[in-house]
Amino acid sequence: YTRHQQNPSQHRHNIPVFPYNRHTGEDLSQINQLMNRKPSSSSRSSHLTVLSWNIDCLDTDNISHRVKGLLSQFGKYSANVVLLQELVPGCLTILQNIMKDYQFLQGSEDGYFTAILLRKDRVQLLQSNIVKYPTTEMGRNLLIANVRSFFFLGHPLCIMTSHLESCKSNSQERLNQLRRVWKWIKEAPEDHTVIFGGDTNLRDWEVKKLGGLPDGISDVWEMLGEPEESKYTWDTSINDNKEIPHSIRLRFDRLFLRAAAEGAQLRPESMTLIGLEKLKCDYFISDHWGILCTCKCEVSEELRVNE
């Protein structure tokens, strides 16, 4: 397939072979050192950093350069939780070989899939689950990890990611999947703070069609005042990886938050788009920008003393 003709629905069972070779490994050696450096004292503070990114590994054009760029971004930000979409087995192997500080959970064993990466010195996995979407035609699902955080007085978190059905014509299936996501968010244990991040492929009118967000679930971008600079995560007016001849600017990638009923709380402080710089190969890392979100862990003094 060509650079500008990709459609994930067409390639579910035709995943490209990932071009990893000796030269690639040599190029990644410096990134390997960066990824495994000790976290700074600031990274051990009472903040949670979440990075969500559709990394578009279905597109193999300049993939070695793009994976190097991706790993550089991972090393730069050292996010506590990384949520990935459009990961493929070959790319997963490279990330696992280099990102030794992370525990990997994947949404599937083959094809292209989602993954949750948990930084081992910050987050402890309790259990994980994969929820199938019964009517998907693209192999999509919801990946869930229940974790305990070392910086949040051990309070439980529920981390979720998904890649909702692609293409405008699949709106009804996408909304069916979104309802299922919201259901799992709402039904998570009350003592868990729930964070969902992923490529939702949503248009704003689709959310309005469902009557807006359910009570208790918040859109993190909206919580932060709808900053224009972090709105459009799929922006063909700047990103030309797909060579689309006209400009399309959409907020496909979103973060949802549901607070725990009581106890410690997460308060979003910032959201930044990353991957905005072109690489030397004249490509961006992905056709999507990544979302880097920082949340403050707020614990009352009474709760801190009791625990």
Catalytic residue among 56, 199, 253, 287: 199
How many CB atoms are located within 10 Å of the residue 68 CB? 21
199 is catalytic: yes
Edge-to-edge strands of the sheet including 81-87?
102-106, 113-119, 81-87, 47-54, 290-298, 265-274
Phi-psi region of 201 (alpha: psi -120 to 50; beta: other; left: phi over 0): left
Amino acid code (one letter) for 76: K
C-alpha dist (Å) from residue 85 to 176, 261, 287, 290: 19, 30, 12, 11
Residues with catalytic function: 199
